Structure 1
Amino acid sequence: MPTCLECGARLSLNIPGSVFNMDQTQVNSFEKFLTTYQDKKILVLELGIGPQNQMIKAPSMQLITGNKSSRYLTINKGQLNIPSMIADRAIGFSSTILDAFNALITGKDVVETQGPARPAPQLSPEDRQKQEEIFKNFYPSYTVNKGYRPGELVMYTTIDGNHPSHLHAVKYGKALMYSYGDPVDVHCFTQDGHYRLVKLGLNKDNNEVHGFYVEPNTFIAMEDAKGVTGFTQISVTLPSSSSNEILVPKKDQLKKMFPQQRALIDRLSIDD
């Protein structure tokens, strides 16, 4: 065990517990960095941070996601994690930091690398209009604003009895929050075969919740609970560089997985 250089006492690990002391100065400095440089031309170097360390990794990736002038370089042997939304502006070295820096300095690519990926092709104005019409089947009436955190957008979508949000996959994971109006029913179909109904609203006596997080790859559909006002507005968080790609389930396959929800799936599915 290491000892103190001044008094010789045995040192304790700085882990959560009675002796844990978080360096709030470092936390504040990191948040200030994210805020100050979110619109600058920057290169983020991520050195030896594993994919499980989301406390550091997630804010850094959000910074890159929301800044088209930024670039991302990660070095982590055997544990590269580059999300698709920044893949065209990122490169990873699956090696030690020393070997990666030697490759960068000498120009000799002797280490395993990943990326950058080719950027997604741009749509024509006509295709964008078609995409917009299709998108309204899943988010009927919406506006998008910049979120509070770097790389985050907030979509406000309004749902009524004639315009539900049809079944589609949550690609990135999303936080759904009730804003105002009637409560809304959120139907969730998970990849491991579970169905869950979540009621967004303010009436706890009716098992309503103000918000919840939907895991990636979950199929969801939303419909107004047909209350007094006749419409519902909810907010949805998403990465600022997320694509408009909508993943729609095969109706017949989904009904085989969830036979008890066949009528629900028929009502809230887009025709194949």
Structure 2
Amino acid sequence: MDKHNAEYYISKLGLEPHPEGGYYKRTFESGEKTSDQELSVSFEGTRLLYTSIYFLLGSNNISHFHRLKSDELWYYHAGSPLTVHVIDENGEYKEFKLGINLDEGEVPQVLVPKNTIFGSSVTDQDTFSLVGCMVSPGFEFRDFELFTQDELLAKYPQHKDAIMKLAYEVIPG
């Protein structure tokens, strides 16, 4: 198998489809938990201190706009650069280029703060990006929120181009 092919990584790493788009596999998680009384964010019950996944996205796919109650730290691993699209809590839209070509403004790590709406897309055509994502407090699907285009356009009409590209028209059932 060709290491420059997404199927190589999907197969070798045992990645599975992710509801936001792309493929993932949980790789590490904390052996310790924390309670909602110990956190500044309101969680139902306890959470692992952190979780970590591989995440692979092809250029023919996107990671749809979503929000977490936790911080998420992204690390570049392989393939093409990845653009992380962010609408922060103040409603400002920003793009971060996750990669290793520092002269082109890429960075090998990106932090997406809790309660930020974000998604991602592969910068180059006909390729893929393999990254790692560490969530703290640990990721749980009950803390994961997807958005429709209409929901986001009602709140952030100034970001119509990004919303039309990165939000679901209808969230898949």
| TM-score, scaled to structure 1 | 0.46
Match of 1:159 among 52, 57, 76: 57
Counterpart CA distance in 1 for 2:156 and 2:63 is 19
Where 1:226 maps in the other structure, the secondary structure is coil
Q: Which structure: greater strand fraction?
A: 2
Post-superposition shift, 1:193?
A: 1.1
The structure, 1 or 2, with the larger RCO (C-alpha pairs under 8 Å, 6+ apart) is: 2
Q: Distance in 2 between matches of 1:138 and 1:162?
A: 14
Amino acid at match of 1:170: L
Match among 227, 232, 243 for residue 129 of structure 2: 232
Instruction: Tell me the equivalent position of 2:108.
Output: 210
Counterpart AA for 2:60: N
Residue in structure 2 matched with residue 179 of structure 1 by the alignment: 77
For 1:250 and 1:171, locate their aligned partners in 2 and report how far apart those are by CA, in whole Å: 18
May I ask how many residue pairs the two structures share in their alignment?
Answer: 138
5+ residue gaps, structure 2, are 1-15, 33-48
Unmatched runs of 5 consecutive residues or more in structure 1: 1-132
Of 15, 24, 28, the residue aligned with 1:142 is 24
Shift of residue 263 of structure 1?
2.2
Query: In structure 1, what is the Cα distance between the partners aligned to 2:67 and 2:89?
Result: 10
Would you say 1:242 and 2:139 are equivalent positions?
yes
- Secondary structure in 2 matching 1:145: strand
**Which residue is 2:45 aligned to?**
none
Contact 1:137 1:164 in 2 (8 A): no
Give distance in 1, aligned partners of 2:55 and 2:89. Answer: 25
* C-alpha separation in 2, matches of 1:175 and 1:240: 11
Kindly provide the CA deviation profile for residues 150-203 of structure 1, in whole angstroms up to 9, marking residues without a partner as x: 533211010011221111002211111111110000000012111110000011
| Between structures 1 and 2, the one with greater helix share | 1
**CA separation of 1:241 and 1:208: change in aligned 2, threshold 3 A:** closer
What's the secondary structure of 2:52's corresponding residue? strand
